[in-house]
């Protein structure tokens, strides 16, 4: 059962007395005054409230009755209910005939405040539970059965198939107000599940559908949500795939921060191989692959050879197109390519080698 606290009780008093010229008291379920416009009456027992609690009904007290009760003044005292449970008493001081017309209105307002506070508490609890569950979801070692059981316990409803989207927020400025606005906007959709993943990132699980994410980013910019980037998964069909997608999108984020810092929409389907390789970039196997490139980079003080190789791979080994893109003569390009082959030991004219070089460049620091 919900229990009134002194902060909420005093809030009720202050709101009512800002409108009415009568003192208001709020008593807890034991009849103690925990909120009042008269500070001297705080933390004293109100016998009139105890009568209300004992009989679960309105108790009016006139001058004669007040003289017979301790800690009581003339007025009207009404039971405060929440979910049909008696949680306290509200009293309005004055002759019953004078204050009676206001009593029910004040009680109604007080019970609405209680309901609002309870809803806020429930939302806070749900958000806390969701954030705790998300921390487990992003832990690859977390057993799937435990995740599923916890989701059921907290009443989490996931709609399949869906798409996971990590929303990165800009690093400039205070992110919390913008994060709150963005969460409020996303929460209006029943097929969305959204929650913070720290101060500058949001978890957004959304139903599948045709969406223009570039247009959504423009919409976000217009509303000053400070969205830096969207990182998007493949379609997901169950909790196991969702857990796998969390790890994959973390790897995609790391790759994008190193190699694609200005790209605002990242789709796993378009960068799957790069993401997979980047996640293993420190392994012995991949380091052996990168050794020829590292030899070349070590001898490329001004970065000219690396720039040439990147253009060569980007233009599929087309001499004229690549030379024009670099703004150099074809012979200069051939000389640079010969130098790259000499330093790396890789045949840059071969298609399969160009593919390996192109991928390898994306793995270099």
- Listing DSSP states for 137-171 in one string gives HT-TTS-HHHHHHHHHHTT----SSEEEEEEEEPS
Give this prediction's pTM: 0.73
Domain presence at residue 139: no
The structure tokens 């390996």 sit at: 356
Taking each helix axis from N to C terminus, what angle separates 239-259 and 272-279, rounded to the nearest 10 degrees? 80
Among 223, 255, 278, identify where a domain stops: 278
Residue 97 sits in the same domain as residue 221: no
Contacts of 284 (CB under 8 A, 6+ apart): none
In terms of C-beta density within 10 A (0-12 exposed, 13-18 middle, 19 or more buried), how is residue 267 classed? middle
Structurally, the chain folds into a number of domains equal to 3
Burial per residue of 166-189, b for 16 or more beta-carbon CB atoms within 10 angstroms, e otherwise: bbbbeeeeebeebbeebbeebeee
Query: Does 29 score more than 90 pLDDT?
Result: yes
What are the tens digits of pLDDT across the range 62-85? Answer: 999 988 888 789 999 999 999 999
Same domain for 356 and 264, yes or no, is no
User: Are 167 and 272 members of one domain?
Assistant: yes
Residue/partner pairs of 348-352 with CB below 8 Å, 24 or more apart: 348/309, 348/312, 348/317, 349/317, 351/317
Q: Which residues constitute the domain of residue 54?
A: 6-122
The confidence score (pLDDT) of residue 1 equals 64
Ramachandran class of 174: left when φ > 0, alpha when ψ lies in -120 to 50, beta otherwise? beta
Quick check: is 229 in a domain? yes
Q: Is the pLDDT of residue 87 over 80?
A: yes
CATH code where residue 32 lies: 3.30.450.40
Judgement on whether residues 194 and 268 belong to the same structural domain of the protein: yes
The pLDDT, as a whole number, for residue 199 is 87
Convert the pLDDT of each residue in 261-275 to its tens digit: 999 999 999 999 999
CB 89 within 8 A of CB 26: yes
**Residues 6 or more apart whose Cβ sits within 8 Å of residue 333:** 308, 312, 319, 322, 323, 326
pLDDT digits (tens, 9 = 90+) for 312-342: 999 999 999 999 999 999 999 999 999 999 9
Within 10 Å of residue 132's Cβ, how many Cβ atoms?
A: 12
Asked whether residue 44 is domain-assigned, the answer is yes
On whether both 286 and 274 belong to a single domain, the answer is no
What's the pLDDT tens digit per position in 173-230? 888 888 999 998 888 777 789 999 988 999 999 998 878 999 999 999 999 899 999 9
Q: What is the pLDDT of residues 353-364, one digit of tens each?
A: 888 888 888 888
15 and 112 share a domain? yes
Q: How many percent of the chain have pLDDT more than 70?
A: 99
Query: Does some domain include residue 80?
Result: yes
Question: Is residue 220 domain-shared with residue 242, that is, in the same domain?
Answer: yes
Indicate whether 310 and 272 sit together in one domain: no
* CATH number of the domain encompassing residue 343: 1.10.10.2840
Residues 258 and 225 in one domain: yes
Residue 173 falls within a domain, yes or no? Answer: yes
């Amino acid at each position: 059962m919900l229990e009134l606290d002194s902060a909420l009780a005093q809030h009720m008093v202050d709101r009512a007395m800002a409108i009415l010229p009568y003192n208001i008291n709020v008593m807890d379920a034991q009849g103690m005054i925990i909120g009042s416009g008269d500070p001297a009456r705080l933390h004293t027992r109100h016998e009139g409230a105890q009568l209300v609690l004992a009989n679960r009904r309105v108790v009016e007290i006139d001058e004669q009755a007040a003289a017979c009760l301790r800690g009581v003044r003339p007025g009207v005292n009404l039971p405060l209910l929440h979910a049909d449970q008696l949680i306290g008493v509200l009293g309005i001081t004055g002759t019953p005939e004078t204050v009676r017309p206001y009593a029910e209105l004040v009680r109604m307002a007080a019970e609405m405040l209680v309901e609002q506070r309870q809803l806020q508490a429930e939302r806070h609890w749900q958000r806390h539970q969701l954030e705790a569950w998300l921390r487990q979801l992003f832990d690859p070692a977390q057993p799937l059965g435990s995740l599923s059981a916890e989701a059921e316990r907290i009443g989490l409803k996931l709609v399949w198939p869906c798409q996971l989207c990590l929303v990165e927020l800009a690093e400039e400025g205070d992110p919390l107000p913008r994060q709150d606005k963005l969460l409020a906007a996303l929460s209006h959709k029943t097929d969305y599940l959204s929650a913070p993943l720290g101060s500058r990132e949001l978890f957004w699980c959304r139903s599948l559908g045709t969406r223009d994410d570039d247009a959504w980013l423009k919409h976000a910019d217009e509303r000053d949500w400070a969205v830096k980037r969207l990182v998007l998964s493949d379609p997901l069909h169950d909790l196991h795939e969702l857990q796998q997608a969390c790890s994959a999108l973390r790897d995609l984020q790391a790759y994008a921060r190193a190699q694609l810092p200005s790209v605002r929409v990242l789709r796993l389907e378009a960068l799957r191989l790069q993401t997979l390789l980047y996640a293993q970039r420190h392994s012995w196997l991949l380091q052996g692959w990168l050794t020829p490139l590292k030899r070349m980079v070590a001898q490329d003080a001004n970065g000219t050879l690396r720039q040439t190789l990147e253009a060569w791979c980007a233009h599929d080994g087309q001499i004229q197109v690549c030379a024009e893109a670099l703004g150099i003569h074809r012979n200069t390009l051939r000389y640079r390519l010969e130098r790259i082959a000499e330093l790396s030991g890789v045949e840059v004219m071969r298609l399969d080698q160009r593919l390996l070089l192109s991928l390898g460049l994306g793995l270099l620091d």
